[in-house]
Amino acid sequence: MVALYIIGGILLFIVLLCLLPVGIRIKYDKDFNLYVSAGFIKIKVIPAKQKKIRISDYSERKLERQRKKQQKRDAKKEKKKAAGAKKEKKDSVLVARLKNIDTAPDMIEQLYDMLILVSDKFAKRLTVKAFQLDAIIGSDNAAKTAILYGGACSAAGCISAFLDQHMSLKKRSGASINVSPDFLSEKTLVYADVSMTVRVGGLFTFVFEIRDVISEILKLLQEDTGNG
């Protein structure tokens, strides 16, 4: 009976873990901020929290330990450099094919197809809770501003189409993308606030679905003695 309770507890834990949402929030308003979350826990990653300076951190004993650690790290780096100089590193299959003018186009096409497949499968599992992007395009030249504005509008259209096609967007927030030119401003101003989540179970199934792509990439990263 105890064994059944243990198995049931493990299964319940796995189910709850798969349902746990993990996500990121990117916010840019002159400064870049990055948050990661798991369930109700939210941590600010960038900018990192400044460490408090304590006098005890600068004791002679601690400084001596830090010097010894740094010397060990430097010695390891020197050994790696020496070993790397002796052993000639061969190009991977991927690099060799990209360097070869005959195989480069096919390799680029293959990588593009892989990227589209991976992004499509991952995007279906994403929930975009908020997507706000405001850009005021400006530069030191009116013609340059017009060109930048045209490019920004094109990029905004692609982003909007991608969101509509692949991602689940919360109705209460929606997506807000605004791009406008300012011919009197000498620089571009951008404000962005993007929040996305995905469930842990979705990550597991995502990795399972792209296992063939992962296997193919690992093969391409193997060393190659030929020219691809």
pLDDT at 23 over 70: yes
| DSSP-derived pairing of the beta strands 175-181 and 189-199 | unpaired
pLDDT score of 76:
82
Tell me the whole-structure pTM to 2 decimals.
Answer: 0.65
Higher pLDDT: 4 or 86? It is 4
Q: Find the helix or strand (DSSP H, E) in which 222 lies.
A: none
Q: pLDDT tens, 61-78?
A: 777 777 888 888 888 887
Render 17-84 in DSSP notation, one character per residue.
HHH-EEEEEEEEESEEEEEEEETTEEEEEESPPPPPP-GGGG-HHHHHHHHHHHHHHHHHHHHHHHHH
The residue ranges of every structural domain in the chain are 22-48+63-220
pLDDT at 97 over 60: yes
Tell me what percent of the residues of the chain surpass a pLDDT of 90: 1
